[in-house]
Structure 1
Amino acid sequence: MINLLFDPLPECVQVDGADYPVATDFRDWIAFADLILDPGISQQDKVAAAMQWYPDARPPDATKALRALKWFFTAEPLLTGRQQRRMGGRPTRPVLSYSQDAAYILGAFRQCYGIDLIRIDHLHYWEFRSLMQALPEDCPLKKRMAYRAADPTRIRNDAERDRVRRIQAEIAIEYECDDEEIADAFL
């Protein structure tokens, strides 16, 4: 785990003991997720395209290069031990879609942090992820995510259970993977 308050954010990944610079802007990694989720692109073409996230030299071993991209994408060092264990456990349903929730993401960053994600020159992907995680629970994006994560079968009140199910149906994510599934799509 790293401490964002004093540890530098990575600009490179390590493959076989060598450092390889990678794209670090949050837009690049949202595009990475879109690439992986695109059913119209073959697995072979996805692997070839993913190598573009290495702006300079690419590691010679494609499998190790993809594992390194997965490490960067999942931002594992930012996760607590509990979050890392959950990543390795049973899959959870996705609660966020970069495409379907784009307006809510833009709004949340503007409202909560005063950051204009459209006009900002660069925002490191790991900082973006940390800011997403730290959004207050009462912002509309976090409310959408909470409704998607809710398990209506655990709600005893029939009217409330029906209300939550209706909301879930309205904001349901058209099939999309969570970060771990996206990262594992290559391997």
Structure 2
Amino acid sequence: MNLYDPWPNEVTVNQHTYRLDLSFDNVLYALKARGDEGMTMMDRCETFLQLVIKQDIPPVADWVDVHNAIIDLITTAKQKPTRYDINGDPIEPKGEGEHIKADYDFDFDASYIYAAFRQTYGIDLVKEQGRMHWLSFVALFDALPDDTAFVRIRHIRSTRLGDIKDKKQRDAVRRQQRELALPDDENKEEGGDSYGS
């Protein structure tokens, strides 16, 4: 990202340039389709390309390359989840292989994200559908301040219970994590406590 070039709206792969619809709502919809486990990988890839590319999609042989070029274009380093300690300070991963579970979901947390954008920037995301570029949305999303409910919820979800020494405080945070759990976390918890102790 830089401030002297326009936001990118195309990718070039194998000497073919593809114009893209990178409005934030369209990208969110395409990413949701890309994660639909009810479809085959090829169907997911095709659907993603159909949603994002404004013209005919590439030949099947180029699908993966074009898909990866688009993902590289829309993915920023800050989109990786961050784990926090009990004080709300970010914790650096101990090793590159350490898995950090997601602390937000664009669909599940939609109302909190909408409210955070209204509170912080005065932006009505519904009115920005089809207009706000994905990279603009992500830059604002990554800069949401701690005084929004959405960021506080992310902090609670990503707190490691094992780092809390006080049992009462650990139990209180565990209770909050259960109340605010993402759908996948709730399903995992049915089989046991997925938050540690």
Counterpart residue number, 1:127: 136
**Contact 2:161–2:174 (Cα < 8 Å) also in 1:** yes
- TM-score if structure 1 supplies the norm length? 0.80
Q: Give the structure, 1 or 2, with the largest relative contact order (CA under 8 Å, sep 6 or more).
A: 1
Q: Which SS does the other structure have where 2:18 is aligned?
A: strand
How many aligned residue pairs are there? 166
What is the Cα deviation at residue 57 of structure 1? 4.2
Q: Given the alignment, which residue of 165, 173, 181 partners 1:164?
A: 173
Counterpart residue number, 1:74: 75
Tell me the alpha carbon deviations over residues 14-52 of structure 1, each in whole angstroms, 9 at most, x when there is no partner. 313543211110001111221122222222221221121
What letter corresponds to residue 151 of structure 1 in structure 2? R
Tell me the alpha carbon deviations over residues 60-85 of structure 1, each in whole angstroms, 9 at most, x when there is no partner. 41120111122133135x78xxxxxx
Q: Which SS does the other structure have where 2:42 is aligned?
A: helix
Worse-matched range after superposition: 117-126 or 133-142: 117-126
Q: Which SS does the other structure have where 1:164 is aligned?
A: helix
Q: Percent identity?
A: 30
What is the Cα deviation at residue 119 of structure 1? 1.4
Counterpart residue number, 1:117: 125
Distance 1:13 1:148 in 2: 36
Query: Which structure has the greater CA radius of gyration?
Result: 2
Q: Which runs of 5+ in 2 are unaligned?
A: 80-92, 186-197
**Contact 1:15–1:59 (Cα < 8 Å) also in 2:** no
Q: Which SS does the other structure have where 2:12 is aligned?
A: strand
Q: Given the alignment, which residue of 128, 140, 165 partners 2:149?
A: 140
Q: CA RMSD in A?
A: 2.1
- TM-score if structure 2 supplies the norm length? 0.76
Does structure 1 residue 94 correspond to structure 2 residue 88?
Answer: no
Tell me the alpha carbon deviations over residues 99-152 of structure 1, each in whole angstroms, 9 at most, x when there is no partner. 110100110111110100111251100110110110011210001111111111
Does structure 1 residue 104 correspond to structure 2 residue 105?
Answer: no
